[in-house]
Structure 1
Amino acid sequence: MPNVRVNLFSALLPGLALMVAGCGDGSEQPTPQPIRLAEPVPVTLDAFGRPAPDVLAEQQQLHRGNGEEPQTLDPHRAEGVPTANILRDLFEGLATTAPDGRIVPGAAGRWDISRDGMTYTFYLREDGRWSNGDPVTAEDFVFSFRRSVDPATAAVYGRMLMPIENAQAILAGDQPPENLGVEALNERTVQIRLDDPTPYFLGLLTHASTYPVHRPSLVEHGDDFVLPGNLVSNGAYELVEWVPRSRLVLDRNLDYHSAGGVIIERVVYYPIEDENTEFQRFRVGDLHWTDQVPSNLFGWLSVNLPQALSVSPWFGTYYFGFNLTRGPFRDNLPLRRALNLAIDRDILTGKVTQFGEIPTFTLVPDGLPDYEPPLPDYAILTQAQREEMARELYREAGYSEDDPLEVELRYNTSENHRKIAVAVAAMWKQTLGVRTRLINEEFRVFLQNRAMRRNTEVFRAGWIGDYQDAFTFLELFHSAHRRNDSGYDNPRYDRLLEQISTERIPARRRNLMVEAERMLLGDQVVLPVYTYVTKRLVNPLLKGWEPNVMDFHPSRQMFFVKSRAQAEAEAAAMQPEVAPETETDSGTTGDVTVVEEGTT
């Protein structure tokens, strides 16, 4: 797909003024027609926490909007939140998460942790099976952990297994994967030895890099083991169809250890990158769950669809990265600082995104119980003071109004990303005179260009923590990390990360992480913008999920309940002498009614 370039050498500021003026009031597009969603019946749970059968809807098929197209369903090579959503349905690690985000047993029914925190012993479920009926064994996990750290696999997140004994040496190519500290004590027992105590280790075991893969399928099909008909999974669902750029279809895995508790029979994921398209599909009932919502509709949605709109904190940061391996940002710290200071984050979050995002000057989000991000000195200044500093640094960097910086800013396809990029470019133009070309790329191309570092200058980025610890953000910028798209290469920073990995005293470890983030911000490797919130539309008839800071929502925990109208109609049918008139539901999925203007 060719790049889409937008030349912003002129007329940026009037466009920004119009965009900001229109945000949130529906002026960018016609105001949508009102929607009336079916009201659910009250949910009652039995003694085991399951919904009572009489409240469940007859149809249990879930349609989920899911952002970008997956690049692969190989759990050890996959990346990106949309792909992680699908993998969470297909596979299950030793541990998993409850609806509220708590870590609970997964493929392992229980585990023991040694008193020194160095050895974890996991006991696999007796009824754990792959989707083809094969038993899930300890050797499956040993093979898969070794594959994840094997340099030949080129796993994007292989470094997440660094706490495991010898993982660092294996990833560096100094030891064979067989030396990894993961052992099958017997068919159902996996023991993992760590180099040092790791408080967040159980959280790592919910990540796709630790999922088991079915070795016979991998041997037989090679890279094609992830395709429908070939993919054998151990999670609650199995892959039955994948139509690129259209849909992925998952059916309930009858061999899953807890298949009897899985209510949703089929899940269909749709890779829809455009928020407006996704919203329209929700309106007509094609979707029960959206990945995003259009930012300009927040006010309208808050008034017209409050029962479907879900906004909650998310453990992640939206930022822009600088390519430090080439001009104009290599060896030009004043220029990077100037661009950072010229951004008005309050306008971006208050007038452009408008969904409760929190402006930030740090990489690690607030909210961790034992970590407070180091706030840069300029954070306490007014925006006018920051802009004055930006102009001084811009001149120091060698640029002026007569000789302005010309720069490319890349972002992946999304209306929200586009609006932010336009606003940022306008701020740079207004404050510094920078001339910016916006380049929009399809997600796959965008990631490839970021990783290669040959074409990028400034690029949109964001990171959602894989586990609730500051290290999940800091490790991204180790010189050897595969997601270090900026090309940051600082031996002092690398040594700090290695110290953090081995430090056993929590207070010292926390101080080292603060020092590392302070160094990262001081070198202006990234331009933080805001702390994420999740924002989506969910059909009110879909239950079993809860907002959580990690935004993990496996389909196996969800279920549809009857609408109140349907329940009342059923009750009336049992008493024919009463038979009141009932309002029926309509729409593609049977639970959406579009109300025309002037009707009731």
Structure 2
Amino acid sequence: MLKDKWVITSALAISLVLAGCSTGDAANTESSEGTAASSTTTAAEQVITVTNAGDLASLDNAVSADNASLVVLENANEGLYRVGDDGAFELGIAAEEPVVSEDGLEYTFKIREDANWSNGDPVTAEDFVYTYQKIVDPATASPNVNKLYPLKNAEAINNGELDKTELGVEAIDEKTVKFTLGNPTAYFKDLLGTSSYLPQNHQLASELGAGYGTNSENAVYNGPFIVEDWEGTDLNWTMVPNEEYWDAENVQLDQINWEVSKEIATNINLFESGEVQLTQISNPYIEEYKGSEELVTEPKALSGYVWFNQGRTNTANVHLRKALSQSFDKEAYVNTVLNDGSVPSNGFVPSNYAFNPETEDDFREESGDLAVYDLETAQAEWETAKEELGIETLSIELLTSDTETSKTTAEFLQSQWQQNLPGLTITIRNVPLKSRMESTTNGDYDIAYGTYTPSYADPIAFLEMYESTSGLNSSRFADESYDALLDDTRSTYANDPEQRWEALLAAEETLIAENAVNAPIYQGANANLIDPTLKDVQIQPVGAAMYFRTAYVEE
């Protein structure tokens, strides 16, 4: 678990809560059933409107990997663990903590008897079996499949070597599910609280097939809210309380209206007019709200970066990638483009996120600076790249989404690269997030910009993105030694925390310093404008950006 978790308190201050360093904290966290809202009584209308920075791509957690979709999925669904009032994982639809075998390979959970889907069906063990088999099935091509690799046979199934029925998940009875791991995994219970491990109603999902989650009617929900009025491409939708949710009595909001708004100036106008109660904000507007109770900022385990398509001749050249990685001023970027509390990053894994199990040293500090702004070195790499490619000039494209931050990021990088690497021309293509994801998945790009926020606190959450078998590996990077290092963290060193830690450090060195697979830019921060009457929204440094299960409007 993270050392630090953040929750917006009733005074809209940020309370820093020590949740400990161990990945096993969920086992020591009592459920807050019946405590979230029972002491609060208010006559205020419990309806809010919030903005979402990106399009909702799908309500199927087997195929969704973008933050804009995950924040909706995680407010409408619940796994065996959920985010508690203090930001740490607690029991969700699990009735009690699991029975764990002595060798740490088997976890047996009882599902709450009152855990139901929004259509009245009970949540069953078969729902977990079906969903996890669906995710590891190579036909699904799930971008989240690597997160299920701790389950026995998951990787072999995804590689087409075994049938999906061989996966280490079993329905013992209707309300008892057993997981069998390939190797002991210290952070397995943390994984069970993430969107990749959410169950789906197996009857509806199997009936709809590829149509599941393509609109709000083609899904059912087992969490605090249900999604309504989303036809698959709409830029707005609503969420209302799920009457079948086991903890429905503690959900106070009657309706959440979601509006996709990518322009910060528009967001601010909507907020100032009272049309929205929570919206994202970035530079240059943050300065205007400094000192205001409406501005809430906190660190976030988000990495902003560019990555390179190694399936194309030019960006397959490691010297070109290194030249691009080291030829832009990150300090200037965070101060002029963002100015929201984000900080420059010289590695992929963020700071204050994962800690050495023996010394408690920060992973980022131990791993060091792997991709720094160094113009002299960058220009030398550029000369080597031109020589190896047999060129004097080069024109390549930078692909981003069409949000305001993505656009200004692209313009900043274009200016820096063209100024610092003479002979290089950068063209920009801004498209909706869903189109950007399709382009990177299909290999239709040279360089792409994006961000990644993990759903649990372990370096492998970042590093496994670039395994050769990962559904998120749109860079086409494939390195046997890199794959072997990550395999060792799950097998050879599964019971040796210090050796596992060293393998993770070596993996990031291979990824960033040696191969420049991506170019880290910054570690992000949450910066939001929140109406002072909106209380107890849970703002998270990992996983979904915000949870509304405990939120309410104060009169």
Which of the five TM-score ranges fits, normalised by the shorter chain? 0.7 to 0.9
Cα distance per residue 1:49-71 (max 9 Å; x no partner): 535444x2431112121111122
Map 1:351-500 → 2, pairs under 5 A: 351-367=336-352, 368-370=354-356, 372-373=363-364, 374-376=367-369, 379=372, 386-398=374-386, 403-433=392-422, 434-453=424-443, 455-500=444-489
Deviates more, 1:240-249 or 1:338-347: 240-249
Aligned counterparts of 1:212 and 1:436: Cα–Cα separation in 2: 43
Distance 1:143 1:79 in 2: 19
Match of 1:515 among 503, 506, 511: 506
Give the drift of 1:315.
0.9
- Counterpart of 2:517, as a letter, is V
CA contact (8 A) 1:294 1:415 kept: no
RMSD: 2.3
How far apart, CA to CA, are the structure 1 residues paired with 2:171 and 2:34? 36
Q: In structure 2, what is the Cα distance between the partners aligned to 1:121 and 1:247? A: 40
Partner deviation per Cα, 1:247-293 (whole Å, 9 max, x = no partner)? 11122111111111111111222222222222221121121111x21
Q: Which amino acid aligns with 2:228?
A: V
What per-residue deviation string (whole Å, max 9, x for no partner) do you get for residues 212-269 of structure 1? 1112222443333433344221111222211533311122111111111111111222
**Post-superposition offset of 1:40:** 8.0
Three-state SS of the structure 1 residue aligned to 2:368 is: coil
Say if 1:236 and 1:256, in contact at 8 Å, map to a contact too: yes
Matched residue, 1:25: none
- Tell me if structure 2 keeps the 8 A contact 1:228–1:239: yes
- TM superposition score normalised by structure 1: 0.81
Is the Cα–Cα contact under 8 Å of residues 357 and 531 in structure 1 kept in the other structure?
yes
Q: Are 1:177 and 2:164 matched, yes or no?
A: yes
Give the Cα–Cα distance (whole angstroms) in 2 for the partners of residues 540 and 57 of structure 1: 16
Shift of 1:90: 1.6
CA contact (8 A) 2:35 2:250 kept: no
Aligned to 2:278: 289
Structure 1 residues 46 and 233, CA gap change in structure 2 (3 angstroms) = closer
Tell me the alpha carbon deviations over residues 501-527 of structure 1, each in whole angstroms, 9 at most, x when there is no partner: 212200000000111100011111111
Matches within 5 A, 1:200-279: 200-226=187-213, 227-243=215-231, 244-279=233-268
| CA distance in structure 2 between the aligned counterparts of 1:510 and 1:269, rounded to whole angstroms | 41
Quote how far apart the aligned CAs of 1:493 are.
1.0
CA contact (8 A) 1:500 1:509 kept: yes
Shift, 1:165, TM fit: 1.2
SS of the aligned residue for 1:152 comes to coil
Corresponding position of 2:552: 559
**Paired letter, 1:537:** L
Contact 1:165 1:194 in 2 (8 A): yes
Residue 76 (structure 2) pairs with residue 90 (structure 1):
yes
Q: Letter of the aligned partner of 2:241 in structure 1?
A: R
2:519 to 527, 548, 554: 527
Are the equivalent residues in 1 in contact too, given 2:370–2:509 (CA < 8 A)? no
Which range is displaced more, 214-223 or 307-316?
214-223
Shift of 1:327: 2.4
Structure exhibiting the larger radius of gyration computed from Cα positions: 1
> Are the aligned partners of 1:410 and 1:440 in contact in 2 as well (CA < 8 Å)?
yes
Asked whether the equivalents of residues 54 and 403 of structure 2 are also in contact (C-alpha less than 8 Å), the reply is: no
1:377 deviation in Å?
A: 6.5
What's the TM-score, normalizing by structure 2?
A: 0.87
Given that 1:46 and 1:52 are in contact with CA atoms closer than 8 Å, whether structure 2 keeps it comes out as no
Contact 1:496/1:516 (<8 A) preserved: yes
Query: Residue 66 of structure 2 corresponds to which residue in structure 1?
Result: 80
Other-structure match for 1:537: 529
Give the CA deviation at 1:548: 3.2
Three-state SS of the structure 2 residue aligned to 1:174 is: coil
Residue 100 and residue 404 in structure 1: after superposition, are their counterparts in 2 closer, same or farther (change >3 A)? farther
- The answer as to 2:304 corresponding to 1:311 is no
Residue 120 of structure 1 is matched in structure 2 by 107
Go from structure 1 to structure 2 and tell me whether the alpha carbon gap of 1:98 and 1:415 turns closer, same or farther (over 3 Å shift).
same
Return the match for 1:69 from 46, 55, 58: 55
Q: What CA distance in whole angstroms lies between the structure 1 residues aligned with 2:371 and 2:306?
A: 18
* Structure 2 letter corresponding to 1:69: D
Secondary structure at the residue paired with 2:457? coil
Verify the 8 A CA contact 1:99 1:548 in the aligned structure 2. Answer: no
User: Aligned-pair distance for 1:163?
Assistant: 0.4
Measure how far apart 1:472 and its partner are.
Answer: 0.6
Contact 2:133 2:164 in 1 (8 A): yes
One-letter code aligned to 1:362: G
Q: CA–CA distance in 2 between the matches of 1:186 and 1:208?
A: 24
Cα distance in structure 2, aligned partners of 1:254 and 1:271 = 26
* Aligned residue type for 1:162: Y
State the distance in 1 between where 2:370 and 2:166 align.
46
Amino acid in structure 1 at the alignment position of 2:95:
G
Q: Residue 580 of structure 1 aligns with which residue?
A: none
SS of residue paired to 1:500: helix
| Inter-CA distance 489–109: structure 2 relative to 1 (3 Å threshold) | same
1:109 partner SS: coil
Counterpart of 1:98, as a letter, is G
Letter in 2 for 1:124: I
User: C-alpha distance in 2, partners of 1:156/1:322?
Assistant: 18
